[in-house]
Each structure stands twice: as C-alpha cells, then as structure tokens.
C-alpha cells in the first residue's frame, strides 16, 4: 500500500466520522466501515487490474504500485462515496420516519 492511499484512508475515515456525528450514530463503527469499504475496494480493484495488465502484456507480474494507484484510488473513492451516499440516505430516512411517528407525542 503506497503512502498516497494512506492519506486517502484518513480522508475516508474523516468523511464517515463526520457523517456519523451529524446523524448521531456510532462514530467508531461507521468510521471503520467506511475505511473497510475503501480498503476492500482498493484491494479488489488492485487484484483485478494486475491480472488484466498481466494478461494484456503477457507478463506474470505487472505491479508498479504507483501507476496502479493512479487508476485504483479514484475508483476506490468512488465506491466508498457510493456507500457514503447510501448511508446518508438511510440515516435521513430513519430521521424522517422517527419524526412522523413522534407526531402527537409529548
């Protein structure tokens, strides 16, 4: 894992932490889930791209990590961003549902 991806890991952790804090959810849990979404997508895309480049260039191991990071990190951020939006919609729906059910209660 290159140093650039570590910087983006910190960015993803902060992004999910602020989301959990905004909606008063478990801070540590959603920070770790956001980090896991980034890391799993990063490693999954890394394996796929290395295998595709190996197949395309007839080499057994094509793994220049900096070059791969230029392609993989934006895609991993996109996947974790999709997960972020999914959680945000879920939290908004839970807040909207709880407000409707609280009508008439003192």
From 35, 18, 36, select the one nearest 27 (Cα to Cα).
Answer: 18
**Band of the pLDDT at 56, cuts 50, 70, 90?**
confident
49 is a domain residue: yes
Q: Give the torsion through C-alpha atoms of 74, 76, 77, 79, to 10 deg.
A: 130
106 is a domain residue: no
- Separation CA 67–CA 12 (nearest Å): 21
60 is a domain residue: yes
Give the structural domain span for 79.
Answer: 3-101
55 is a domain residue: yes
* pTM of the predicted protein model: 0.82
Domains of the chain: total: 1
Residues 85-103: pLDDT tens digits? 999 999 999 887 766 656 6
């Amino acid at each position: 894992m290159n140093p650039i991806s570590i910087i983006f890991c910190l960015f993803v952790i902060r992004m999910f932490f602020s989301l959990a804090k905004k909606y008063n959810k478990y801070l540590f849990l959603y920070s770790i889930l956001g980090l896991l979404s980034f890391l799993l997508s990063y490693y999954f895309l890394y394996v796929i791209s290395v295998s595709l480049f190996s197949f395309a260039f007839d080499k057994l191991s094509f793994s220049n990590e900096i070059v791969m990071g230029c392609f993989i990190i934006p895609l991993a951020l996109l996947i974790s961003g999709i997960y972020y939006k999914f959680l945000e919609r879920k939290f908004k729906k839970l807040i909207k549902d709880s407000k409707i059910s609280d009508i008439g209660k003192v």
